[in-house]
Structure 1
Amino acid sequence: MIDMNINHPPPSDKPSPAPVGAVERLLSRRSGPLGFGTGLLHQIDDPASAVRLLRQAHEQGITYFDTARLYGEGRCEGLLGEAFAQIRGEVILATKVGILPPARDLAIRLKGKLAATLRRLPPLRGVVPPPAIRWPEFGVFDPARMQVSLETSLRELRTDHVDLLLLHECTLEDVRRAEVLDFAEQTVRQGKARAWGVAPAPDAMLAIAASGSPYGDVAQFDAALHPAFACSPSLTITHSCLGTRFQETLFRLSQDAQLKDHWSGALGMEATTANVAQGFLAYAVWQNPTGLVLFSTTRPERLRPNLDAATLITTPDQAAAIAALIAAE
C-alpha cells in the first residue's frame, strides 16, 4: 500500500506548497504543483457557495487560480474578485483574452426570459420563437477589444493587475501578428500583467512551439500532449487531465474486472472513481515536475484528495505502470 500521507502534514494543518521556481520567478510568489481552474465554478448555483469553495481551496494550500472572460459568461472572474480582493497579495491570478462571452446586457437577458416564459403557455408555443442561442466570440485578438477585455477582467477581479495573461485558443497566425505581440508585451510593461503566454488548442500549441516564434513566458495546454510533446517556455501549465481519456477509463473499469485489478495494483489502493482520478492527476504532475497542473471541482470534499494526488506517485516504476494503464486502448 502507498502511504497517502507521505510528505504531507496532518490533515488539520495547512500544507506548505512545494516551490516551483518558474512560478516564483515570473509571478512573484510560490505555488505548489496544483492550480485551481475555475471553468466549472459557475455551475454552483449559489454564488456565496462558489466564493466559499475558492476560499477553502486557498486555505488548503492552493495559491494559483486560473480563469477567463469566457468562463460562466464572465461570472467566474467576479467570484474570484469577491473571494480574494482582501488578500490579493496571497494568490496568483491568471486570466485570458481572445474569447468573449455572449453579451449579457439587461435587454438581451430580459428578452430571452420573456420568450422562454411565453413558450411555456400552450397557445403561444407555436407562435413565440425560441430564445436566440448566444455563442461566444472566438479569435478576438485585435488590440482594441483585447484591451477592453483585459480592463473588464481587472474590474471583475478587483485588482490592478493579473499575474498572468494568456492568449485564449490562439493560433500560430495570431502569435505571429506584430500587434498581438505588442499588446502582450505592453501589458507587462504597464504592470497590468506580470507575465504573458499562450493557451492554445493542442494542434495550435504544436504549431506554435515548432515555429520558433516568440510566445511569451508561459505555455498552457492539454495534458494529453505529454509526454510526446516538449516545449521550452519558463513555465508549463497543463489542464484537462481528467478529460476524455479519464471518462473512457471509468467506463472500461466498469466492464473489465481484470483491468480494475491492474489499476488497483498500480495505485496501491482500490480503483474507485476517486482513486483513479487521483492517479490521472498524479501522473499529470509527474509529467510536469517544474510546472503547474490545473484541476477543477465544484465539490469542497474533493479538494483534499486532489492535493494528496500530487505525491501519490513515488517511483518511476509506479509512474510507468500508471502511464501504461492510461494509454491502454
Structure 2
Amino acid sequence: MNGPAALDVVQQRLGLGCARLGSVLGRDRAGAFTLVQAAFDRGIRLFDTANIYGQGESERILGAALGSRRKRVTLVTKAGQYFPAWMRVAKPLKSAVTPLIRRSGAGRHLISKAREAPLPQNFSDHGLRASIDASLRRLNTDYADILLLHSPPADVIARGDALGLLDKMREAGKAIKIGISCEDIQTGLLALNDPRVEAVELPLWPPTEAMDRFLDRARRQAVFVIGRGLINAAQPASSNDRWPAARTALTASLARSEISRVLIGTTRLAHLDQVLDAVRRAETSCS
C-alpha cells in the first residue's frame, strides 16, 4: 500500500516532534528548514513544538518553513516552562558557540547534562499570556491548533486555573483545542478529570494496564491523544537494536485507534524516511 492509502495514514496518524529544531545539539536553521518542508512534502500534517524548544528557534523555523502552508497543518505548541536568567543572557552567543559545541564531545556532553535539569515553570495568567502571544508571533500565526500546558505538576492540574487561562485564550480565538502535555500516564489520567481538556500529549510506551485505562477514558471523552517518546522508550540495552525496537513501538501504537497522532522525534531526513517506510510496510501487511 505505497500509494494514497499509505499517504493517508501518514497524514492522519503521524506528526513531527520539533524539540531539537534550532537547538545546540539539533539541526541548524538551514537543515531544520529543509526537514520541515520535506516532512510536509511526505505527508506530515502535524508539527509539535514549544516555546522552550531551541529557545524559541523551533517555533521560528516552523513559522518560516511552513509559510503559506500554515492552514494545511495542525500546529501544537506549549506554555508554562521558561529558561533561567543565565540561559537568556547567554542566548546572543548561541550562534557563535554552537558549531564549536557540535564538534566537541566534551561540549556536547556538558550541554546534554544541562538539558537534563528541570526548567523553571510559570503557570500564572500573566506568564502564560505572555508566553503564548510570543509563541504565536514566532510561529507567524494568530492561533495554535492545539495549545497545551507544558508538564504542569499535579497540583496545577487539579487547581485548574492555568487551564482556565488557556480556555480564555481559546475563547479569544488564539487556540482551537486546549489541553495538557504530561510526563506520565498518572498525570494524564488526572488531566482527563478536567472536562475542558480536549487534548493530551504524553509518553505511551511500553503498554501497561494504566495506559489502557487512559486510552479507554480518552476515547470515551473524545480527547485528542498525542503519543511521544516511542524511540527513547523502546530503546533496549544494545544501541545496535534500537531501530527494530522503535519500529515495534511505532507499529503497535499506530494499531491503537485511540491514539490520534504518533510523534516522530527526529532531526534527520534519512531517519524520517526510514520511519515512513516502516509505516508503509505495516499498512501493506495489513491490507
Distance 2:258 2:95 in 1: 48
1:37 aligned to 2:29?
A: no
1:246 aligned to 2:227?
A: no
The 1:208–1:58 alpha-carbon spacing in structure 2 relative to 1, beyond 3 Å, is same
8 Å CA contact 2:80–2:122 kept in 1: the answer is yes
8 Å CA contact 1:63–1:92 kept in 2: the answer is yes
The 5 Å alignment of 1:215-294 reads 215-224=196-205, 226-228=207-209, 229=211, 230=214, 231-232=217-218, 233-248=222-237, 250-251=238-239, 273-288=242-257, 290-294=259-263
Aligned to 1:16, which of 7, 22, 28? 7
8 Å CA contact 2:236–2:242 kept in 1: the answer is no
1:154 aligned to 2:136?
A: yes
Report the alpha carbon displacement of residue 175 of structure 1 after superposing the two structures with TM: 2.1
8 Å CA contact 1:278–1:312 kept in 2: the answer is no
Quote the residue 1:145 is aligned against. Answer: 127
Report the alpha carbon displacement of residue 103 of structure 1 after superposing the two structures with TM: 4.7
Bigger radius of gyration: 1
Distance 2:207 2:83 in 1: 30
The 1:244–1:151 alpha-carbon spacing in structure 2 relative to 1, beyond 3 Å, is same
Quote the residue 1:65 is aligned against. Answer: 47
Alpha-carbon RMSD: 3.2
AA aligned opposite 1:8 = N
AA aligned opposite 2:264 = F
After the TM superposition, list the runs of 4 or more consecutive aligned residues in structure 1 that deviate by more than 4 angstroms.
Answer: 103-114, 133-136, 311-316
The 1:111–1:142 alpha-carbon spacing in structure 2 relative to 1, beyond 3 Å, is same
Map Cα deviations across residues 94-114 of structure 1 (whole Å, 9 max, x no partner): 000111134588854468999
Q: Percent identity?
A: 26
Report the alpha carbon displacement of residue 297 of structure 1 after superposing the two structures with TM: 1.1
The 1:14–1:53 alpha-carbon spacing in structure 2 relative to 1, beyond 3 Å, is farther
1:208 aligned to 2:177?
A: no
Distance 1:106 1:289 in 2: 39
The 1:190–1:51 alpha-carbon spacing in structure 2 relative to 1, beyond 3 Å, is same
8 Å CA contact 2:235–2:242 kept in 1: the answer is no
Distance 2:181 2:160 in 1: 18
Aligned to 2:68, which of 78, 86, 90? 86
8 Å CA contact 1:38–1:76 kept in 2: the answer is yes
The 5 Å alignment of 1:179-194 reads 179-194=161-176
Quote the residue 1:50 is aligned against. Answer: 32
Normalising by structure 1, we get a TM-score of 0.68
Q: Which has the higher helix share?
A: 2
Distance 1:205 1:189 in 2: 24
Name the SS for the 1:243 alignment partner. Answer: helix
Report the alpha carbon displacement of residue 18 of structure 1 after superposing the two structures with TM: 3.5
The 1:65–1:311 alpha-carbon spacing in structure 2 relative to 1, beyond 3 Å, is same
Distance 1:112 1:290 in 2: 37
The 1:109–1:234 alpha-carbon spacing in structure 2 relative to 1, beyond 3 Å, is closer
Distance 1:200 1:59 in 2: 30
Distance 1:170 1:14 in 2: 38
Name the SS for the 2:195 alignment partner. Answer: coil
Normalising by structure 2, we get a TM-score of 0.78
Name the SS for the 1:213 alignment partner. Answer: coil
Report the alpha carbon displacement of residue 161 of structure 1 after superposing the two structures with TM: 0.6
Aligned residue pairs total: 257
The 1:315–1:170 alpha-carbon spacing in structure 2 relative to 1, beyond 3 Å, is farther
8 Å CA contact 1:33–1:289 kept in 2: the answer is no
Name the SS for the 1:16 alignment partner. Answer: helix
The 1:303–1:172 alpha-carbon spacing in structure 2 relative to 1, beyond 3 Å, is same
Distance 1:47 1:206 in 2: 37
The 1:215–1:242 alpha-carbon spacing in structure 2 relative to 1, beyond 3 Å, is farther
Name the SS for the 2:7 alignment partner. Answer: coil
